[in-house]
Structure 1
Amino acid sequence: MIELKRLVGGYSPEKPIINGVDLAIKRGDFFALLGPNGSGKTTLFKLVTGQLPLLEGELLLSGKPLSSFTKLEKAKKIAVLTQELQVSFDYTVEEIISLGRYPHQKGLLKSLSKKDKEIMQQVMDVTGVTIHKNKQFRKLSGGEKQRVLLAKSLAQEPAILLLDEPTNHLDIKHTFHMLDLIKEWQHTKGLTVFAILHDLNVASLYADRLALLHNGRFLEVGDADTLRKEEQLEKVYDVLIKAGSHPVVPKPQLLMTPKLEDKKEIYSFDDNFKFDMDDKCIHVQSFKPLRSISNGVIGEGIQWHRHFCNFHVEKNYNCDNPVKDIEEWLYQKKIPTEQSVGMMTAVELSDVVIYKKEIKGIAFMAVITAGVGNAVDITNIELCQSPVTIGTINIMLFIDAHLTDGGLVNGMMSATEAKVKALHDLEVQDPISGTIATGTSTDAMVLAFTQQGEKTPYAGSGTLIGKGIGHLVYEGVTKAIQKYRKRIGQHAW
C-alpha cells in the first residue's frame, strides 16, 4: 500500500538526512519506525506526509506516486496525527472533530450530514472525549487534546493513519487505551498504520513490523524479534540493553541498564543473612537482593528476592488458595510479598537441615526440610487417587556466585539431579508403583545467587558451581530425610 523506493530527502540538497531507504508497508499492517533522536525519524515522517519534498526516489501509494493525488484525494486516504497540539482558532472539541469529515462532504456549503454526525459521535465515544465535546480545545490537558485529535483522524475514515509519537502526552492508561483502539481499527477496518514510536517495549507489543533507523538508513526491517538483537540496539541507542520475553505476549521486552561505574560493594556472604525460625515459619532474610530461580508458591520464575520463607501447615491443610494464604502469612510477619519466595510443607520445621560449605572459594548454604510421605516416581503414569498432601522436600540454596539466567536453569537442573540421587540411595519408594521415587508431588526449590564475581552461564555437573550445588543438595536432602524418618519412627520404605 505504501512503498518507499530509494528515498532521499531532508532540509538541504547538499546534506540529505534520509539516504536511500526502501520500504513496503502492506495494507492493514501496523508499522513502527524506531530510532534515537537525530536518526532521521521526523524527517522521514515529513517526507511520507509530504511536508518535505523528495530529493530522490519515489513514494508510492497503492502503486501511484503520492504527488499525483490531489489534496482532497490524499485527505480521503490518509490521516495524520502529530505531536503538535496547538490549534490556531478557538474551536470546541466537536468542531475540531468535525474537520475530519471535511474531505467526505459534498456541495459548496460542505455541511455536516446525518452520517457525518453519526461517525463523529462514534469516534468521540470510542476515544472517550464525548464528555468534552462542548469544551474549548485550548482548555484541555495535553492527553485530552491528543485523544481529540485522534478522534478527528479517525473521523476521516482513512485507509492510512500516520502517527508521530502519538502517546507523548499520555499516561500509561491512555497510552494503552489509544493503541488498543488503533489496533482494533486496524483489525476491523483494515487500517494501515505508520507510526513513529519512541518506546521500544510499546512498539514491540503493538507493531506487526518495525524498522530501526540509524543515521538516515535502515539497519534492519523486520518483526518484533528484531528487538532481540541486543548488540545492534546498543549500537544505535548507546545504552546497555537486555532483551527478554513478555510473560504473557510472545513478544520481546527490553530492560535498559545504566552505565554506572563499577563500584559495587563486595559483601561478606556469611554476614549477608539473617535467620529466624519458629514452629510456623523458617525465614531467611538476605540484606542484599539475590537473583533467584524458584518454583515456590509465590516468587516463582526468575526474579530478585530478599526474603525466603518456608511455612509449616498441617497435613490436612486445604489447598484451595495457597497463594493467598502465604501472602496473608507474610503480611502478618511484615515481610514484603513482592520481595519474597514462599513455600509450604507439612514437615516439622525443627527437622530442618542447615548446611554450609565453602568449595574452592565459593560459599554455599542450603536450608532444607524433607519428608517422603507423598513420594512419587515421575516416570510412573498412574496418579494417586487420594487427595494430594502438602510437600515435603523444600530446598533453599544460597550461593556466592554470578550466573546468567541460563546458568540459573543449569543450577536448577543440577539441584534436581542431586535430589533424585539422594532419594535413590535412600531407597525412597513411590507407594503406588513400588519403584524408586524421583521426588514428591509437591516439592519446592529456590536457588539464590549473590551475583558477585565473574558471570558464567554454566552450573552443570561439569562445573565447580554445579558440583557444589549437587554436593550440598545431596547431603542436605539425605540428612533431612533421615531426620524425618527418625521422627516418624519408620524403618522400612
Structure 2
Amino acid sequence: MLSLKNVVGGYSNTPIIKGIDLAIEKGEFFALLGPNGSGKTTLFKLITGQLPLQKGEVSLSGQSLPSFTKLEKAKKIAVLSQEAHVSFDYTVEEIISLGRYPHQKGFLKKLSKEDWNVIENVMEITKTKQFQKTQFRMISGGEKQRVLLAKALAQEPEMLLLDEPTNHLDIKHTFQMIDLLKKWQQTKGLTIFAILHDLNVASLYADRVGLLHHGKFLEVGDINTLRKEDQLEKVYEVQVKTQSHPTIPKPQLLMTPNYVQTNEWRNFSESFSIEQNEKYIHLQFNQPLRTISNGVIGEGIQWIQHFCNFHVEKHYHCSEPDKDIRNWMEEYNIPHHQAVGMMTAVKLEDMVVCTKRMEDISIMAVVTAGIGNAVDISSKEEARQDVKIGTINTMVFIDAHFSDGALVNGIMSATEGKVKALQDLQIKDPLSNTLASGTSTDSLLLAVTQQGESTPYAGSGTLVGKGIGEVVYEATAKAVKKYWKRVKVNDIS
C-alpha cells in the first residue's frame, strides 16, 4: 500500500535519511524502531510531506503521494504525532469532529447523522466521551493523546501514521490504545505505520519491524528480528538480553545497566540461615539466587531469596495449593513473591542436609523424602489415583555462575543422582513391582549464587554436574533411610 523508493531527505543539504526502500502492505502493522537521532521522526515527516524529499519517491497504492490533493490524502491517511498542541480553545468533541471534515459534503460542510454516529463511536471506544464537552486545554497529556487518536480514527482512514502514540500514556492506557489499534487493523483492514520507543510493545503488536541506524535500515523483518542481541546492542548501545514471552511466542527484551553490582557475597556457608520446625523448613539467603524449579510457587527460572518446604497432613487435598502456600508464608512473614514453596507429608525433622566442595565450588542439598508414591515412569501401569505419603523434595544450592542452559543441565544431574539412589536402595513401584524412578509428586529446585566465571554446562560429564549428582545421591539415600526407620517404628506401634 505504502511504498518508499530510495528516499533521501532531512533538514539541510546533508541528508539524515540516506536511501530508504520500504513496502508496507495493506492491513499490516509496521513498527519503525531506533534510538533518538537515528532518523525516525525525519522519515515520518518525509512520508507525511512535512519535509520535502531530496531524492526518491513515496507512493500510496501505486500513486505518488504528493500528487494527492489534501482532501484526497486526508481520506486515505490519518496522522497522529507526538505533539498534543491545538491552537484554538476547542472542546474535546469539537476536535474529534474535525476528523470528519474530509467526508463532509456541500459548501457549508455540516456534520451529518452518519458523521455524528462515527464521532460517538470513536469517543466510546477511545474512552473520551466522559469529557467530550471539556475544553481540550483542561485535560491531561494522556487524555489529549486519546482525543487526537479519536480524531484520527474519525477520519476512517485506510492508513494510520503514528509518531510515538503512547508517549504520554501510562501502562494501562498504552495497552488499551494499542489493543484498540490492533483490533481496527484486524477487523477493518487498517494499515498502521508507527514509530515506537518500547521494543517490547513493538514485539507484542507489530507484524514487522524496521531497525533504523544512522538514517538507514539495518534490517527490516518480522518480530524475530528483535531476538538478535548483537544487532540491537549495536543500534542502542546498551547490553540487551532477549527471552521469550511466557504466554505468547514473541520475544521480550531486557536491558542490562552498566553499573557494577557492589554487593559482595560472604562465604557461602555464612550466606544463609535455616529455620526448621514441625510446620516448615525455611532457608533464607542474604541475596537472591538464580533458580530453576517446579515448586508449587516460584516455578520456572527466577531470582529467589526464600526457599520453603511446608508440612501437610497425609490426607491433604486442595484445588489451590499455591494459594495455601502464599497464605502460610504471609502468616510466617515470608515474602511469597521472592520465594519457592514446596509441600510434603513427611516429618520435617527427617530433613537431610549434605554438602560437598568440588575445587572452589560449594554444593549443598536439602532433601525430605517419602516413597509411598514411588513410581516407575517407564511402567505401563496407569497413574494411581490414591495418593499416599511419599514425596521427594530436593533443594540444591550451588556457589557458582550458571547459564540458563547450565541450570537445565544441573536439574538433569540432580535427577540422575536421585534416581540412582532409589535404584541402589531397590525402591520399587508397588503397582508394577519394578524399580522406581521417583515419586509421583516430586519437587526439585536448583539455585546458584551467580558468582564467579559463567559456565554453560553442568551435566554429568562436568565436575560441577558430578558434584550435584553425588550430593543429591547422598542426601536422597539418607532421607529415604530415615523414612524407612520412621515407617517401621509406626508399624510396630
Q: TM-score, normalised by structure 2?
A: 0.98
Indicate yes or no: 2:173 matched with 1:170: no
Residue 421 of structure 1 is matched in structure 2 by: 420
Residue 447 of structure 1 is matched in structure 2 by: 446
Map residues 15-414 of structure 1 onto 2, 5 A cutoff: 15-261=14-260, 263-389=262-388, 391-414=390-413
Q: Does the 8 Å CA contact 1:300/1:341 hold for their aligned counterparts? A: yes
Q: Does the 8 Å CA contact 2:372/2:389 hold for their aligned counterparts? A: no
Q: Aligned pair in 2 of structure 1 residues 39, 391: CA closer, same or farther (>3 Å)?
A: farther
Q: Distance in 2 between matches of 1:115 and 1:389?
A: 69
Deviations 1:111-144 (A, max 9, x none): 0000000000000000000011101001110011
Indicate yes or no: 2:452 matched with 1:465: no
Deviations 1:407-432 (A, max 9, x none): 11111111111111111111111111
Local SS of the residue matching 1:102? helix
How many pairs were matched up?
Answer: 491
Using the TM superposition, give the Cα deviation of residue 450 of structure 1 relative to its aligned residue in structure 2, in angstroms: 0.4
Equivalent residue letter for 2:464 = I
Q: Aligned pair in 2 of structure 1 residues 389, 166: CA closer, same or farther (>3 Å)?
A: farther
Q: Does the 8 Å CA contact 1:317/1:390 hold for their aligned counterparts? A: no
Residue 12 of structure 1 is matched in structure 2 by: 12
Q: Does the 8 Å CA contact 1:32/1:203 hold for their aligned counterparts? A: yes
Q: Does the 8 Å CA contact 1:161/1:192 hold for their aligned counterparts? A: yes
Q: Distance in 2 between matches of 1:151 and 1:381?
A: 62
Q: Aligned pair in 2 of structure 1 residues 200, 390: CA closer, same or farther (>3 Å)?
A: farther
Local SS of the residue matching 1:44? helix
Using the TM superposition, give the Cα deviation of residue 391 of structure 1 relative to its aligned residue in structure 2, in angstroms: 4.5
Using the TM superposition, give the Cα deviation of residue 62 of structure 1 relative to its aligned residue in structure 2, in angstroms: 0.6
Q: Aligned pair in 2 of structure 1 residues 471, 170: CA closer, same or farther (>3 Å)?
A: same
Q: Does the 8 Å CA contact 2:30/2:194 hold for their aligned counterparts? A: yes
Q: Does the 8 Å CA contact 1:344/1:390 hold for their aligned counterparts? A: no
Q: Distance in 2 between matches of 1:400 and 1:45?
A: 51
Equivalent residue letter for 2:443 = A
Q: Distance in 1 between matches of 2:388 and 2:239?
A: 47
Local SS of the residue matching 2:285? strand
Q: Distance in 2 between matches of 1:472 and 1:240?
A: 36
Using the TM superposition, give the Cα deviation of residue 364 of structure 1 relative to its aligned residue in structure 2, in angstroms: 0.8
Deviations 1:362-392 (A, max 9, x none): 1111110011100111112332343334651
Deviations 1:233-269 (A, max 9, x none): 1111111111011111211111111011364524210
Aligned sequence identity (%) = 67
Q: Distance in 2 between matches of 1:385 and 1:451?
A: 40
Equivalent residue letter for 1:193 = I
Q: Does the 8 Å CA contact 1:304/1:339 hold for their aligned counterparts? A: yes
Q: Distance in 1 between matches of 2:221 and 2:453?
A: 35
Which sections of structure 2, spanning at least 5 residues, go unmatched?
Answer: none
Using the TM superposition, give the Cα deviation of residue 404 of structure 1 relative to its aligned residue in structure 2, in angstroms: 0.9
Q: Aligned pair in 2 of structure 1 residues 215, 377: CA closer, same or farther (>3 Å)?
A: same
Deviations 1:180-205 (A, max 9, x none): 00000000000000000001111111
Deviations 1:443-490 (A, max 9, x none): 001110000000111101111111111111111111111111111119
Using the TM superposition, give the Cα deviation of residue 356 of structure 1 relative to its aligned residue in structure 2, in angstroms: 1.3
Q: Does the 8 Å CA contact 1:344/1:391 hold for their aligned counterparts? A: no
Q: Aligned pair in 2 of structure 1 residues 324, 266: CA closer, same or farther (>3 Å)?
A: closer
Local SS of the residue matching 2:54? strand
Q: Does the 8 Å CA contact 1:204/1:224 hold for their aligned counterparts? A: yes
* CA root-mean-square deviation: 1.4
Equivalent residue letter for 1:40 = G
Q: Does the 8 Å CA contact 2:374/2:390 hold for their aligned counterparts? A: no
Local SS of the residue matching 1:4? strand
